Amino acid sequence: MHGPRTALIWRAVFALLGWTILTLQYALMLATPDRGPVELTLNFFSYFTILTNVLVVLAMTLPVVAGGHSIGRWAAAPGVRASVTMYAVVVGLVYHFMLHATWNPQGWALVANIGLHYVMPIAMLLDWLMFVPKGALRWSAPVKWLAFPLIYGAWTAIHGLAADWWPYWFVDASTLGWGKAGAYFAGLLVFFTLVGLIVVAIDRMLERRSVVAG
């Protein structure tokens, strides 16, 4: 476990980097000529990647700027940071194995893409591994953490029906049909749970090691 000063510096650096990457991606979306700014903004915040990166950036920012307040302590809590780590890891893995081959970003779009899907998820994972006290997680925690992707799934369905716009090919019910899109989403929920269980297992393993070392 590294010291609080190191954690503070780490989180400050990645908070700044994360806000910069999100701003860059938003600016790139606004440069799209075929949609209005309101629709583009709604679509921007309808990507699970964006929402998860907002959580990651808040998890980095709040302990730095509000560490002495309740919201800063909440963001630093082991359960909160573990859940955000689960979401971030899933974002990176799903992008790499299900989305990476579907497009070829260039220039600043490539920079934003790498930041959102690789740099920030890895930063969150390392933050959790290095700076968060271990041993506080229960095996049931990953089921509770599914609330976020479940709410996101409901929003995606509502937004998709209303606007005929889908953020990812594997939830595009208008193309795949509701049965197949639902099957993909159910599979993703199972994957979230598995990643969450791995997070809990690592938490317990590292806690036991710290006890033995102590």
Residue 106 has which token pair? 């260039």
Burial 52-78 (b: 16+ CB within 10 A, else e): bbebbbbbbbbbbeebeeeeeeebbeb
pTM of the model: 0.95
CA pair distance 3, 15, nearest whole angstrom: 18
Q: Which range marks the domain in which residue 140 is found?
A: 4-213
C-alpha R_g of the chain: 18
- Give phi and psi for 210, each to the nearest 5: -65, -35
pLDDT, tens digit only, all 214 positions of the chain: 578 899 999 999 999 999 999 999 999 999 987 788 999 999 999 999 999 999 999 999 999 999 889 999 999 999 999 999 999 999 999 999 999 999 889 999 999 999 999 999 999 999 999 999 999 999 999 999 999 999 999 999 999 999 999 999 999 999 999 999 999 999 999 999 999 999 999 999 999 876 555 5
**Count of domains forming the chain:** 1
